[in-house]
């Protein structure tokens, strides 16, 4: 509330100046002209309204921006998705949630041990969940799942990239993708509309939903994973 006072004072000062200027202009207007003062005001004001209406038309007509194409999502739904995914993963039922699969890898590996290393960053953005297969088939399968991310009610999941996976020597190298940056501008409603449509008054309805990302590894039954960089591998409980 206190922050409003300097703004208010500035506004008042500016407006007082504006009024005084307008008054000064008014005195000078008393020259005879072909049209009366009120006529001229009428013309100027009509011109102003015409400009505004032209802007309305222009706004409708100009091509949409990238942002326009993003689908609207329901933020609450997203949260539920994230939790569901994580739970399901721990249960071993992640395969049932097929629609959020982003990428799959498959590697051949014959060793007994595998170092798991995160390169470049301190830790991997995704949670790593490991499932031991019932057999030793010398294959490591990895799948990256990501629930939807949104900002201000718009779906931005496509922008999120999956991590890099590489097998080298005897190590599985994981690294985070390059960080994505989004920058855009948004037009919100006037406060006199927002108070009725349920949007918040002062804070713009900003909201960012990160989604849940999971790297799901299926490894041969007896493969030993060595966590070299403190990744925090979650093993699924085998019955």
Q: Considering only residues 184 through 203, tell me which ones interact with other proteins, judged by CB under 8 A.
A: 184-193, 195-198, 201
Show the 3-state SS of 27-96.
HHCCCCCCCCHHHHHHHHHHHHHHHHHHHHHHHHHCCCCHHHHCCECCHHHHHHHHHHHHHHHHHCCHHH
Q: For residues 176 and 179, what is the distance between their CA atoms, to the nearest angstrom?
A: 8
Q: Report the residue number, 66 or 168, with the smaller CB distance to other proteins.
A: 66
Sort 197 into a burial class: Cβ within 10 Å, 0-12 / 13-18 / 19+: exposed
Site string for other proteins, 60-99 (x = CB under 8 A): x-x--xxxx-------------------------------
Please name which of 131, 226, 115 lies closest in space to residue 167, comparing C-alpha atoms.
115
DSSP 8-state class, residue 162:
P
Per CB under 8 A, the list member of 14, 74, 138, 232 interacting with other proteins is: 14
Per CB under 8 A, the list member of 130, 151, 215, 219 interacting with other proteins is: 151
Per CB under 8 A, the list member of 88, 95, 97, 154 interacting with other proteins is: 154
Site string for other proteins, 197-236 (x = CB under 8 A): xx--x--x-x-x-x--x-----------------------
Residue 59 phi, psi (nearest 5): -65, -35
Per CB under 8 A, the list member of 6, 59, 98, 230 interacting with other proteins is: 59
Cα 44 to the chain's mean position, in Å? 44
Q: Report the residue number, 135 or 184, with the smaller CB distance to other proteins.
A: 184
For 61, the token pair is 């007509």
Nearest-approach distance from CB 111 to other proteins, in angstroms: 30
Write out the binding residues for other proteins, residues 108-137 only, by CB under 8 A.
125
Nearest-approach distance from CB 146 to other proteins, in angstroms: 9
Query: Would you say 96 and 226 are in contact if contact means Cβ atoms under 8 Å apart?
Result: no
Write out the binding residues for other proteins, residues 39-58 only, by CB under 8 A.
41-42, 44-45, 48-49, 51-53, 55-56, 58
Nearest-approach distance from CB 229 to other proteins, in angstroms: 15
Q: Report the residue number, 122 or 237, with the smaller CB distance to other proteins.
A: 122
Query: Would you say 127 and 87 are in contact if contact means Cβ atoms under 8 Å apart?
Result: no
Query: Would you say 220 and 136 are in contact if contact means Cβ atoms under 8 Å apart?
Result: yes
């Amino acid at each position: 509330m206190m922050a409003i006072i300097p703004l208010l004072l500035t506004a008042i000062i500016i407006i007082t100046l504006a009024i005084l200027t307008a008054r000064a202009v008014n005195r000078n207007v008393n020259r005879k002209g072909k049209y009366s003062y009120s006529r001229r005001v009428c013309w100027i004001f009509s011109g102003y309204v015409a400009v505004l209406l032209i802007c309305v038309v222009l706004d409708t007509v100009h091509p949409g921006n990238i942002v326009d194409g993003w689908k609207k999502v329901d933020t609450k739904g997203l949260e539920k998705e994230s939790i569901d995914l994580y739970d399901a993963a721990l249960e071993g039922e992640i395969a049932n949630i097929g629609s959020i699969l982003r990428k799959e890898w498959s590697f051949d590996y014959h060793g007994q041990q595998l170092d798991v290393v995160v390169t470049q960053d301190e830790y991997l953005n995704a949670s790593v969940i490991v499932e031991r297969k019932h057999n030793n088939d010398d294959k490591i399968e990895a799948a990256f799942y990501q629930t939807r991310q949104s900002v201000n009610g718009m779906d931005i999941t496509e922008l999120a990239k999956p991590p890099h996976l590489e097998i080298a020597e005897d190590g599985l190298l994981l690294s985070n993708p390059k960080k994505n940056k989004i920058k855009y501008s948004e037009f919100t409603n006037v406060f006199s509309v927002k108070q009725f449509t349920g949007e918040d008054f002062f804070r713009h309805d900003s909201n960012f939903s990160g989604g849940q990302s999971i790297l799901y590894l299926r490894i041969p039954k007896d493969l030993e994973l060595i966590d070299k960089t403190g990744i925090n591998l979650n093993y699924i409980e085998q019955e």
